[in-house]
């Protein structure tokens, strides 16, 4: 059978939240769109599935209370949410292996608590000096981007435990890279994207709610409303032919001619939105090749690596011990755990995270040993009962060709100050959109909603400036 050939105002590559949000807002503004998605499903890094009878969020799932753009979208779509269970004590396992329960402040000495406050204050102060949408504009951007986050922490404090705790939240908790591989400027962006450090750790803000039916259902609903004529699955885009402007003039951000060659569909359009994570830009062949600065810049963003490990149990047994399910142990294989039970479900679920080199080590083990190793780490927090789950799942995003890691992409040392200013700039008629190049909501679903909305607005403005009116009336 011949390949389908479509003609549209805009072709969007990737049906994650960023691409789908771009398509939703563009069609609402009366523009015609096709979305080409490599996988046989939409949602990208959000993926909800039932495995061995249990409901698993394999990818992104939580909504923080300050993520206004995502929350507004959930209301727009009529989605319901539920709160994460967090009553009772959290567990902290210190480096000597001692297990402590606590509420509020970490159960560490007074002087360590004071050191944590001091480090957080220093980081907040730096973060307050940047715009999350343009960290490279900081007058000392180049200098701050040359300093490893780990070195910076050690230059400010000699309290190893305080350093480990602050390091944990940024490195293991967010960027999912070791703190010697990214810069202070990159850490500042992470903090500024959530306004301040506290928003990345506060129990009342972070990981506040979940979506009934799963986070992927947000993308599924948007795709269903767009329809099969718009969203094409199983269609990796292999080649993108583009020319800037009507005359081929080198005008960025103006309508041009684009042909996206997907496996099942070819689309010609005036603009393309490359809504894939930056580490995948180079998996597409551009004809002509992208300009030199992009060819260089695109090599400096890479995915972090984290395994999301989940185990279901007949009941949330830890609650009977007065535990919330929240736990931290920066030296444990599973360095962070939470209660991941679906509200109203009688079965309980624990979710934990294994980051960086530890994730590589885990994948190197045979399957049975791997499972045992993760469950033993769960048992360090919750006792022997954690060894006997009724369902168990490890999210393997590192082996997903259309993602290649988790949670998101960030710059190598020096990359953000040097190349960041290019990341949101179009090349001819090609725009870029993903949560990984967004300021507010950086690396989160909320960021995807924001950049999708912004990209659609930028395209609509560009169409109007070129005198191309919408084909339909806005709704």
Q: Site residues (CB under 6 A) for ligand FDA?
A: 13-19, 36-39, 44-46, 59-62, 236-237, 275-277, 280, 283-284, 308, 395, 397, 402-403, 406-408, 434-435, 443-446, 448
By beta-carbon proximity to ligand FDA, the closer residue of 316 and 448 is 448
By beta-carbon proximity to ligand FDA, the closer residue of 15 and 190 is 15
DSSP 46: -
By beta-carbon proximity to ligand FDA, the closer residue of 98 and 289 is 289
312 closest CA partner among 258, 386, 423, 227: 386
By beta-carbon proximity to ligand FDA, the closer residue of 113 and 283 is 283
* Euclidean distance between CA atoms 109 and 94, whole angstroms: 12
Report in angstroms how near the CB of residue 81 gets to ligand FDA at its nearest. Answer: 13
By beta-carbon proximity to ligand FDA, the closer residue of 37 and 159 is 37
Report in angstroms how near the CB of residue 230 gets to ligand FDA at its nearest. Answer: 14
Are the beta carbons of 413 and 179 closer than 8 angstroms? no
Residue 147 CB neighbours (<10 A): 16
CA separation, residue 246 to residues 243, 253, 258, 290, 463 (Å): 8, 12, 11, 18, 13
By beta-carbon proximity to ligand FDA, the closer residue of 46 and 417 is 46
By beta-carbon proximity to ligand FDA, the closer residue of 138 and 308 is 308
Sign of torsion, CA 297 455 176 396? Answer: negative
Question: What contacts 369, CB < 8 A, 6 or more positions away?
Answer: none
* Euclidean distance between CA atoms 210 and 220, whole angstroms: 16
Report in angstroms how near the CB of residue 257 gets to ligand FDA at its nearest. Answer: 19
By beta-carbon proximity to ligand FDA, the closer residue of 244 and 280 is 280
148 closest CA partner among 190, 183, 185: 183
Report in angstroms how near the CB of residue 378 gets to ligand FDA at its nearest. Answer: 17
12 closest CA partner among 287, 301, 226: 226
Report in angstroms how near the CB of residue 233 gets to ligand FDA at its nearest. Answer: 9
Report in angstroms how near the CB of residue 75 gets to ligand FDA at its nearest. Answer: 17
Report in angstroms how near the CB of residue 127 gets to ligand FDA at its nearest. Answer: 19
Sign of torsion, CA 59 64 67 73? Answer: positive
Report in angstroms how near the CB of residue 385 gets to ligand FDA at its nearest. Answer: 25
Sign of torsion, CA 415 418 423 429? Answer: negative
The helices-and-strands tally (H runs, E runs) of the chain is 14, 24
Mapped onto helix, strand or coil, the DSSP state of residue 342 is: coil
Are the beta carbons of 22 and 455 closer than 8 angstroms? yes
């Amino acid at each position: 059978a011949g390949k389908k050939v479509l003609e549209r105002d805009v072709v969007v590559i990737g049906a994650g939240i960023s691409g789908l949000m771009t398509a939703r807002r563009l069609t609402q503004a009366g523009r015609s769109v096709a979305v080409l998605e490599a996988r046989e499903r939409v949602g990208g890094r959000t993926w909800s599935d039932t495995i061995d009878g249990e409901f698993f969020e394999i990818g992104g799932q939580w909504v923080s209370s300050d993520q206004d753009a995502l929350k507004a979208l959930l209301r727009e779509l009529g989605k319901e949410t539920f709160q994460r269970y967090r009553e009772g004590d959290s567990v902290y396992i210190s480096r000597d292996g001692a297990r402590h329960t606590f509420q509020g402040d970490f159960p560490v000495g007074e002087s360590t608590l004071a050191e944590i406050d001091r480090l957080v204050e220093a980081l907040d102060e730096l973060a307050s000096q940047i715009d999350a949408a343009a960290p490279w504009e900081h007058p000392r951007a180049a200098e701050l981007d040359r300093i490893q986050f780990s070195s910076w922490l050690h230059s400010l404090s000699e309290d190893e435990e305080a350093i480990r705790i602050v390091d944990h939240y940024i490195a293991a908790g967010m960027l999912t890279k070791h703190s010697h591989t990214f810069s202070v400027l990159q850490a500042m962006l992470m903090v500024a994207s959530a306004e301040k450090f506290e928003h990345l750790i506060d129990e009342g803000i972070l990981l506040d709610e979940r979506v009934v039916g799963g986070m992927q259902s947000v993308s599924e609903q948007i795709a269903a409303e767009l329809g099969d004529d718009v969203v094409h699955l199983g269609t990796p885009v292999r080649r993108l032919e583009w020319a800037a402007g009507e005359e081929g003039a080198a005008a960025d951000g103006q309508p041009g001619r684009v042909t996206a060659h997907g496996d099942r569909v070819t689309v010609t359009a005036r603009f393309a939105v490359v809504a894939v994570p930056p580490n995948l830009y180079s998996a597409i062949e551009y004809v002509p090749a992208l300009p030199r600065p992009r060819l260089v810049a695109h090599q400096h963003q890479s995915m972090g690596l984290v395994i999301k490990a989940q185990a279901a149990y007949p009941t949330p047994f830890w609650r009977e011990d007065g535990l919330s399910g929240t736990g931290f142990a920066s030296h444990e294989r599973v360095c962070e755990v939470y209660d991941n039970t679906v509200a109203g479900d009688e079965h309980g679920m624990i979710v934990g995270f294994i980051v960086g080199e530890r994730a590589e080590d885990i994948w190197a083990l045979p399957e049975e040993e791997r499972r045992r190793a993760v469950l033993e780490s769960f048992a360090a927090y919750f006792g022997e009962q954690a060894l006997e789950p009724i369902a168990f799942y490890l999210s393997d995003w590192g082996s997903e060709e259309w993602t290649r890691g988790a949670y998101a992409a960030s710059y190598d040392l020096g990359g953000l100050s040097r190349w960041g200013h290019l990341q949101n700039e179009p090349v001819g008629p090609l725009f870029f959109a993903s949560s990984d190049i967004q300021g507010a909501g950086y690396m989160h679903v909320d960021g995807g909603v924001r950049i999708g909305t912004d990209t659609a607005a930028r395209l609509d403005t560009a169409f109007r400036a070129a005198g191309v009116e919408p084909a339909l009336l806005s709704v």
